[in-house]
Amino acid sequence: MLSPAKKTTTQLADGRELIYYDLDPSADREARDPRSLPAVDSRPELRRDELTGDWVTIASHRQGRVHHPPADACPLCPSRDGRHGEIPAADYEVAVFENRFPALSGDAGRCEVVCFTADHTARFADLAPERARLVLDAWTDRTRELSALPGIEQVYCFENRGAEIGVTLPHPHGQIYAFPFVTPRTRKMIASAEAHRAATGRNLFEDLLTAQEADPARTVLRGERWTAFVPYAARWPYEVHLLPHRRVTDLTRLSEAERSEFPDVYLELLRRFDRLFPAPDSADGTAPTPYVSAWHQAPRTRGDELALHLQLFTIRRTRDKLKFLAGVESGMDAFVSDVAPEAAARRLREVAS
């Protein structure tokens, strides 16, 4: 671990790994899972699309996973008052465990769930900076551990937030996929970066940051070590890329100074997203904006030109309208954006704290 966090590794009743991350070194993590669970029986299958060369995961067992349970039956809440879920402890700070309904498992990879907080009603944006830093340290630790597993090519840390995105559990959590292949988006980015290097002798991501400094029309916020901006050809109505100024290939290579600044920058971005579409009838005038938050990291091989960055986007284009991937986007992978990137950046600056 890169911070003074305490890491405790244990097992759930069916043998899946459970890991606690705590700022409190005296945290008691001796509670055991008393449930009687059958062993996980998942046999996802990887199939290559003959037309595109992309890998598709067939994971039909996921049809039986828990779907929007009532709050008092949430499997991600701490185990209390005789109710036992996936986390045996009566309280926790950050917890990571192997998914019981994984899209990837065994030789086909690994899937983990990251619980950001024990508070069922919280948002990531509600976390204190030190707790957001603890999540960053958990992402980093899991990236290091999973990257070392045999056959793993790429580690992907992400959060889906909101029923509109397809989230089946409202408790604040994210996931980590350890892929046995390089994902299609990453392959495209690597090809673009390598072509840019061949044509200019420079790195593509470094040039993108330099361009933002020269013309900040699409810059959302800039810190001492991180910059957030709307990409020139943003696909989603509101989409932000967050990059450290010093190019690194994955989370494990961030410096302590970069880690220290990240929570304040990221929490501010999340708060701005929740202010995009005001809800007058809510307590604070804001409504939880559905979003995907995705860490793009270099794969194990052929990733030297890639830069670690976080992609944050929402499918909501107005308060009452969503961006649906219909014929053009789903059928041809040709996106049409409803919001100009410069207008999106301007709006995200307007809703600053």
Report d(CA 48, CA 57) in Å as an integer: 9
| 8 Å CB contact between 279 and 247 | no
Torsion sign (Cα): 122, 267, 295, 255: negative
| 8 Å CB contact between 294 and 156 | yes
Report d(CA 132, CA 173) in Å as an integer: 12
| Active-site position among 61, 67, 84, 173 | 173
Report d(CA 272, CA 237) in Å as an integer: 14
Angle between helix 256-274 and 129-147 (nearest 10): 120
| 8 Å CB contact between 157 and 295 | yes
| 8 Å CB contact between 336 and 329 | yes
Active site residue 173: yes
The Cα-based distances of 105 to 1, 14, 156, 265, 278 in angstroms read 25, 15, 15, 34, 41
Q: How far apart are the first and last CA of the chain?
A: 31
| 8 Å CB contact between 344 and 219 | no
Angle between helix 204-214 and 184-200 (nearest 10): 80
Report d(CA 44, CA 180) in Å as an integer: 12
The Cα-based distances of 312 to 104, 123, 130, 269 in angstroms read 24, 15, 21, 9
Catalytic residues: 173
